[in-house]
Structure 1
Amino acid sequence: MENKKSLLFVFWVIAIILGVVLYKQFDFENLKFEKPALAIIYLVVFVFSVYYLVKNSKK
């Protein structure tokens, strides 16, 4: 049980950091990312971490 809590904490930290990074990299005037290839990787990991958090919150 303790291992599961620490894993959830790690995914919370990852989701928060990647959310902030994606927000900072997005150019709202041109509606584009500064580095699109890196933004795709960040987005995939961000979506996976949020999915994992939502999936485990139901239990």
Structure 2
Amino acid sequence: MKNNIGFNIVFALIAFPIGIALISDTDFSTFTFKKPALDAVYLITFVVAIFLMLKKNKREQGNNKQP
């Protein structure tokens, strides 16, 4: 069986600037965010974008199955 993990460039383009914003807003000496409410939204959006970028394609073969 073939691995159907796809890569969606649209969600990659969404995740990249959000990830950069999260890194720039993080204070690594105390492990806190500069703007906690906004960075929580960024974090949720980043995780969803990564999930959607790497989710499996659900294209069914239907009647084209080989014996």
User: Aligned-residue CA RMSD in angstroms?
Assistant: 1.0
Residue 50 of structure 2 corresponds to: 50
How many residue pairs get aligned? The number is: 50
Structure 1 position 10, deviation (Å): 2.2
TM-score (ref. length: structure 2): 0.69
Residue 35 of structure 1 corresponds to: 35
Stretches (4+) displaced over 3 A: none
SS of the aligned residue for 2:43 comes to helix
Partner deviation per Cα, 1:3-34 (whole Å, 9 max, x = no partner): xxxxx322111100101000000001111000
5+ residue gaps, structure 1? 1-7
Determine which structure has the larger helix proportion and give its number.
1
CA–CA distance in 2 between the matches of 1:10 and 1:53? 8
Identity %: 38
CA–CA distance in 2 between the matches of 1:25 and 1:10? 24
CA–CA distance in 2 between the matches of 1:46 and 1:28? 19
5+ residue gaps, structure 2? 1-7, 58-67
TM-score (ref. length: structure 1): 0.77
CA–CA distance in 1 between the matches of 2:49 and 2:31? 24
